[in-house]
Structure 1
Amino acid sequence: MGSSFAAGPGIKPQLDKAASRSGRNYPHLVAEALDLDLTDVTYSGATTANILSEPQGDAPAQVDAVGPDTELVTVTVGGNDLDYIGIFLRGSTMNTLARPVGLFSKRLGNRIMARVSYLREQAEYDAVADRLVEIVNRIRASAPRSRILLVDYLTVAGPTTRPRLDVPLNEEQLPSVVMMAEGLAQAFANAAARSGAELVAASAASLDHGVGSAEPWTTGFGFRPGGGVGYHPNEAGMAAVADLVIQQLRTAD
């Protein structure tokens, strides 16, 4: 279960248009590799509320798919609670619009770029951790024998990422986006420690695979046919997360 970083928007084949769910997302790749029966309820745009209680489109709350026969659950959600990728996309859009405007009026260009705030309070990250713990508890209540893996978010922009055409943020904005990613990763780690769920730290494993790296696991700004939506996992990223999940399952068996 989870949001777009689990669903795989833009990665072919798309099995559910409304959910932007790929047949080559990491849940499908894990199920294929381990010969598991998969129920995939990932849905792009999902928040923790859509996991716990709120329908999304025609889809019920994702936790409703868990039952007493469920043996394994992977969870990637929380970024939309913080508007993490949304802020990244809006900032990139505003900067792209501001660039030609700034040629005529630097002041107006700066005003356009300043319309996006990249800051989040610690309480917001803590709230994500709290809701992840609640998700784990709800899963355990329905499936007491299941293994629960909290799979955090692949790195889009890491500490070494610099402004470029497909990451059109400046030297002041990029560190704030990186701080959001780090805060989200810490929320997952805190939730795993508090709930006893297993943590798959895709964020740490992908630090050298952000946009602009030699082998990126996420896409840059904009849409890339067949390669995923901007600032989201690409096919290589989904395969890498699947490998991390499989490694976790085999190591802890």
Structure 2
Amino acid sequence: MSRYVAMGSSMAAGPGIRPRATGAPRGCGRSAHNYPHLVAQRLNLDLVDVTCSGATTAHVLNDRQRGAPPQIDALDGSETLVTITIGGNDVGYIPLLMAAALLGSARRLVPGRRGTRDRRVSRLLPVIGSLLDPAAREQALDHSGESLRRVGAAVRRRAPQARVVFVDYLTVLPPAGTSAAPLADTDAELGRYVATRLEELTAAAAAATGCMIVRAGAASREHHAWSANPWTAGATWPLPRRPAPFHPNAAGMAAVADLIVQSTR
């Protein structure tokens, strides 16, 4: 049976989608119905799933996470397929959306005018202020392109026989002009910008390193979290809910699996 290694963050791991995968490090939120498991079943592959919530490009290449070695250590050179969904935590994408949702809820609790409320909340919760700072997100994006290219190049070296596929993030937010409540319009627009740039950087990294790209974001524009047929969850409260807020649901994982299977034909 051919070997398949799946690498990435929570957008590949599938936190909250039941059932949980057995043997995963505690806290990784790895689902037995995430897209790596579905692809392995469809293509009859021997899956090694090292996806983990919170993973960054550093966790793919160098850093241990939740007691597990860097994800790239799972490669032994015999792989025929490697998938990579990474980069969002480097640029604070999902944390940005979580922060915006928390701020939207806090606005209803803190008295005063909107601008004054936002400043008060940002002072009380400086991490939220940083995540919603466009300059800070731009700086993070400026560094992430090279990090993604390093991932692609390193995986190509370690798995020279494999089809290496970057899989970008499913679309979470609705299009401009459509409410993403409880997110403020300005926060939602920042989220859209970060998502668009991350898609561009992922595609560029794939092209620069001889990897394939599966454009899950483009395929899911009409299946955002506020749509009638969502592939991701919106701002569901209280936490935790299933699936995790701003993450793929079971339908989204199945859709991404379909895209990957199609890309192998």
TM-score under structure 2 length normalisation: 0.87
3-state DSSP class of the match of 2:48?
Answer: coil
Mapping of residues 235-250 of structure 1, within 5 Å: 235-250=250-265
Letter in 2 for 1:154: L
2:148 is matched with which residue: 132, 145, 156?
132
3-state DSSP class of the match of 2:83?
Answer: strand
Alpha carbons of structure 1 residues 53 and 162: separation in structure 2 relative to 1, 3 Å: same
- Structure 2: how far apart are the matches of 1:226 and 1:106? 29
Structure 2 unaligned runs (5+)?
1-6, 123-127
CA offsets per residue over residues 210-230 of structure 1, 9 Å max, x none?
A: 111111010011357773100
CA offsets per residue over residues 19-44 of structure 1, 9 Å max, x none?
A: 11000000000000111100000010
- Structure 1: how far apart are the matches of 2:162 and 2:87? 21
2:66 is matched with which residue: 57, 66, 71?
57
Kindly indicate whether residue 96 of structure 2 is the aligned counterpart of residue 90 of structure 1: no
Identity of aligned residues (%): 41
Alpha carbons of structure 1 residues 112 and 155: separation in structure 2 relative to 1, 3 Å: farther
3-state DSSP class of the match of 1:64?
Answer: helix
Please state how far the C-alpha of 1:105 moved relative to its aligned partner: 4.9
CA offsets per residue over residues 114-136 of structure 1, 9 Å max, x none?
A: 55324156553242221222112
The equivalent of 1:68 in structure 2 is 77
Please state how far the C-alpha of 1:106 moved relative to its aligned partner: 4.4
3-state DSSP class of the match of 1:163?
Answer: coil
The equivalent of 1:211 in structure 2 is 225
Letter in 2 for 1:207: R
The equivalent of 2:204 in structure 1 is 190
Contact 1:159 1:175 in 2 (8 A): no
Structure 1 unaligned runs (5+)?
none
The equivalent of 1:19 in structure 2 is 28
- Structure 2: how far apart are the matches of 1:93 and 1:226? 15
3-state DSSP class of the match of 2:264?
Answer: helix
- Structure 2: how far apart are the matches of 1:44 and 1:19? 5
Query: How many corresponding residue pairs?
Result: 247
RMSD: 1.9
- Structure 2: how far apart are the matches of 1:183 and 1:118? 16
Alpha carbons of structure 1 residues 112 and 169: separation in structure 2 relative to 1, 3 Å: farther
- Structure 1: how far apart are the matches of 2:233 and 2:108? 22
CA offsets per residue over residues 81-129 of structure 1, 9 Å max, x none?
A: 0111101101110121112324x55454232465532415655324222
1:47 is matched with which residue: 47, 56, 71?
56
1:158 is matched with which residue: 170, 174, 186?
174
TM-score under structure 1 length normalisation: 0.91
- Structure 2: how far apart are the matches of 1:84 and 1:21? 19
Please state how far the C-alpha of 1:175 moved relative to its aligned partner: 1.1
Contact 1:161 1:212 in 2 (8 A): no
